[in-house]
């Protein structure tokens, strides 16, 4: 067990390195000289050369990667070309905002999905099952950026009870858990929650239906255990698989919130990424993607380890 944990953690290191390499290369798959993204087209050659040297772009690629990685490890992601601020500063605020949004969306989606999935799995083939399956299919098929617009039309334009954009009265940096701020969170969080809702519903439904078909459930029934008691056994058996799916979904929410953040002007990583793309602000683009991907790698690792620890059926040596 211990050696498994150690090996799993060690295996995450080359993955993280490869992910960093991919983020680094993003700049170089872009068409044209990366310097052109920094200096204006009519800049004199001397300035171009100076910038090239300043950013280390005159060195061979592997050396550039090494230097970049060395800085990244020290927590230096460079400076934004658009604002001149350190990328980590902007990213720090943005990650917090995205994390807030994703966690609330995950909580809504997981709760609704677990409930729907458990009911659907327990009453397979009934009308309630069909409703749950339909909702789940709609949840994973709906373009959530469109759903966001629909919710804005209903709750901000027609009824006017919830704000359509932003993260609160004070801009992006001063979050507080009060209604004044939280009402800004409602629409984007609900919009974002439909995907995990759909996927968790499908997963839980499948797992519950499968467990209910197993022999031990029949034995429990035969012994005279009531619904509630059986439910406890089913929940215990379904938990590890469900948690694994949920962990991955949280990662997908963090990485996939860009569309919803754009719709609601939510000042998170997606919003940052979006503006970086259009200003061709390469350091911000690189840094944001790197941080999100590394977060996803760690989350994967955590889910794996947790599943091993929680599920005695998985024997890993």
Partner 1 sequence: MSSTAMSTTTAGLPLAPQPVASPGYWQGVWKRLRRDPVTLACGGILLLMLFAILAAPLLAPADPFQTSMLRRLRPVGTPNYILGSDELGRDMLTRLLYGGRLSWFIGITPVVIAFGVGGLLGIVAGFAGGWVNMLIMRVTDVFYAFPSVLLAVAISGALGAGVFNAILSLTLVFIPQIIRVAESTTTSVRNLDYVEAARGSGAGAMSIVRVHILPNVLGPIFVYATSLISVSMIIASGLSFLGLGTKPPEAEWGLMLNTLRSAIYSQPLLAMLPGLCIFVTSMCFNLVSDGLRAAMDVRN
Select 157 or 309, whichever has its Cβ closest to partner 1. Answer: 157
For partner 1, which is the closer residue by CB, 2 or 29? 29
**CB nearer to partner 1: pick between 175 and 211:** 211
Kindly state the smallest distance separating residue 215's Cβ from partner 1, in Å: 18
Shortest Å distance, C-beta 299 to partner 1: 10
Binding site for partner 1 (CB under 8 A): 15-16, 18-19, 22-23, 26-27, 29-31, 137-138, 140-147, 149-150, 152-153, 157-158, 251-252, 254-256, 258-259, 262-263, 273-274, 276-278, 285, 289, 292-293, 296-297, 300
Burial of 94 (0-12, 13-18, 19+ CB in 10 A): buried
Judge whether 96 and 175 are in contact, CB under 8 Å.
yes
In whole angstroms, the minimum distance from the beta carbon of 255 to partner 1 comes to 3
Shortest approach of partner 1 to residue 133 CB, angstroms? 9
How many residues does this entry show for the chain? 317
What distance lies between CA 147 and its chain's CA centroid? 18
Residue 285 CB, shortest distance to partner 1, in Å, is 6
Q: Based on CB atoms, which residue is closest to partner 1, 207 or 301?
A: 301
Q: What SS3 state is found at 60?
A: coil
Task: Between 225 and 297, name the residue whose CB sits nearer to partner 1.
Answer: 297
Q: Where are the beta strands (DSSP E) in 76-125?
A: none
Phi, psi of 147 (to 5 degrees): -55, -40
Residues near 110 by Cβ (< 8 Å), separated by ≥ 6? 196, 197, 200, 246, 249
Cα 246 to Cα 248: distance, rounded to the nearest angstrom: 5
If the CB atoms of residues 175 and 293 are measured against partner 1, the closer one turns out to be 293
Task: Tell me 86's DSSP state.
Answer: B
| Cβ neighbours for 48, distance < 8 A, ≥ 6 positions apart | 35, 39
Using an 8 Å Cβ cutoff, are 298 and 11 in contact?
no
Using DSSP, state whether 84 is helix, strand or coil: coil
Distance between the two ends of the chain, CA-based, in angstroms? Answer: 5
Nearest distance from residue 230's CB to partner 1, in Å?
25
* Least distance between partner 1 and beta carbon 152 (Å): 6
Q: Which is nearer to partner 1, 175 or 245 (CB)?
A: 245
Tokens of 164: 């359509």
Q: Which residues contact 44 (CB under 8 A, 6 or more apart)?
A: none
């Amino acid at each position: 067990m211990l050696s498994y944990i150690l090996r799993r953690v060690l295996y995450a290191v080359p993955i993280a390195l490869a992910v960093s390499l991919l983020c680094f290369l993003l700049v170089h798959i872009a068409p044209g000289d990366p310097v052109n993204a920094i200096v204006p087209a009519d800049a004199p050659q001397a300035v171009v050369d100076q910038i090239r040297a300043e950013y280390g772009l005159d060195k061979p690629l592997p050396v550039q990667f090494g230097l970049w990685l060395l800085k990244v490890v020290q927590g230096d992601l460079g400076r934004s070309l658009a604002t001149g601020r350190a990328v980590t500063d902007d990213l720090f605020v943005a990650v917090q905002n995205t994390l807030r949004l994703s966690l609330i969306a995950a909580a809504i989606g997981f709760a609704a999905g677990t409930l729907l999935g458990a009911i659907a799995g327990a009453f397979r083939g009934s009308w309630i099952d069909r409703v749950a399956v339909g909702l789940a299919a709609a949840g994973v098929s709906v373009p959530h950026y469109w759903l966001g617009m629909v919710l804005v039309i209903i709750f901000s334009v027609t009824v006017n009870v919830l704000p359509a954009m932003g993260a609160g009265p004070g801009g992006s940096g001063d979050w507080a858990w009060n209604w004044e701020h939280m009402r800004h969170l409602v629409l984007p969080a609900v919009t974002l929650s439909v995907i995990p809702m759909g996927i968790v519903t499908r997963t839980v439904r499948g797992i519950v239906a499968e467990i209910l078909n197993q022999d031990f459930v029949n034995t429990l029934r035969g012994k005279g255990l009531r619904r509630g008691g059986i439910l406890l056994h089913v929940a215990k058996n379904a938990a590890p698989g469900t948690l694994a799916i949920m962990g991955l979904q949280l990662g997908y929410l963090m990485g996939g919130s860009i569309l919803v953040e754009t719709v609601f002007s939510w000042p998170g990583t997606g919003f940052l990424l979006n503006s970086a793309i259009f200003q061709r602000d390469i350091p911000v683009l690189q840094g944001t993607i790197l941080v999100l991907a590394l977060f996803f790698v760690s989350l994967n690792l955590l889910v794996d380890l947790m599943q091993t620890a929680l599920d005695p059926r998985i024997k890993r040596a």
